[in-house]
Amino acid sequence: MLLPKRVKFRKVQKGRRSGIAVRGSSINFGDAAIQVLENGWISNKQIEAARVAMQRHIKSGRVFIRIFPDKPITKKPAETRMGRGKGNPEFWVAVVKRGRILFEIQGVPNALAREAFRLAAYRLPLRTRFVTRQGAIA
């Protein structure tokens, strides 16, 4: 499971999820990628589930994970009255904005990569699309 080794602050504020990705919106490592089409949070469990689905399908080749869950999400226990401060960190999420590349694949044919990304997209909470690098192997 992905999570930071250390953090400066244990709890963070909710923040906003609007806007377009400024960085991380181009393919840098692989030949094909999956790009997110809406803003939101992707949890560490969802990232891992998508990665496992892709790697099982392609069998060979490399999968690059371009996002990292570095934001702790807190929850208060069930049936707790209001007040008494913020809850404890329960899981970690990656904040993704529209246009961000989530995963890249290298060393597999385009058809196989497209199918692997389709399987991965089922495990993600946001709409995505398949993109390829210019001049990639078809």
CATH of domain 43-77+85-132: 3.90.1170.10
Give pTM, 2 decimals. 0.91
Q: Which residues of 28-46 are buried (b: 16+ CB within 10 A; e: fewer)?
A: ebbbbbbbbeebbbbbbeb
Residues 131, 35 contacting (CB under 8 angstroms)? yes
Q: What distance in Å separates the CA atoms of residue 117 and residue 102, rounded to the nearest whole number?
A: 10
pLDDT by residue (tens digit) across 46-85?
Answer: 999 999 999 999 999 999 999 999 999 999 999 999 999 9
Other Cβ atoms less than 10 A from the Cβ of 102: the count is 25
pLDDT by residue (tens digit) across 81-108?
Answer: 999 999 999 999 999 999 999 999 999 9
Can you give the pLDDT at residue 136? 54
Phi-psi region of 15 (alpha: psi -120 to 50; beta: other; left: phi over 0): left
The domain limits of the chain are 43-77+85-132
